[in-house]
Amino acid sequence: MSGLKTRPTDQKPEDFLETVEHPTRKSDGYRLLEVFKEVTGEKPVMWGSSIVGFGLYKYDNTRGKEFEWLRVGFSPRKQSLSIYLTYGFDGYQGLLDVLGKHRLGKGCLYINKLADVDIEVLKKIIYKAYRENKSK
């Protein structure tokens, strides 16, 4: 099976979070670790050197190659917290309208700090993405 560059590793997510220099990003990273565990019921796995992933799914790309990827995850990046939701945001508008300050990418939700958002709404978004991101 072909794969992506970013693969699961044996690194502990807590060890990675300890390397985050920005104090708010570090504490938000630990809070997200607990939120994702609670919402998904999954054990966290490091993907590459900086993504904490939860769950696994397999999919075929447009060229017919099969890949494995995390169902949902996050990374406390220098610029913002990146929340990986994978499939985009169709059907999320009602939740996004009440989430708080955020930006959207193709499959990522970007938050400057957790204090900017309603954590209960974020949990609902993570849960919805987790439930939808099953192996195809």
- Measured CA distances, 61 to 64, 84, 127, 130 (Å): 5, 18, 24, 19
* Residue 102 within any structural domain of the chain: yes
**Residue 6 in domain:** no
Any domain includes 5: no
Query: What is the mean predicted confidence (pLDDT) over 1-30?
Result: 87
Number of domains in the chain: 1
Domain range for 76: 13-132
Looking at residue 4, what is its pLDDT? 55
What is residue 57's predicted lDDT score, i.e. its pLDDT? Answer: 83
CB 10, CB 22: distance < 8 Å:
no
CATH no. for residue 125? 3.90.1150.200
For the cut 50, the answer to whether the pLDDT of residue 123 exceeds it is yes
- Indicate whether 3 belongs to any domain: no
Whether residue 7 is contained in a domain is answered as: no
Q: Decide if 2 is inside a domain.
A: no
Per-residue pLDDT band for 33 (boundaries 50, 70, 90) equals very high
In a domain, 8, yes or no: no
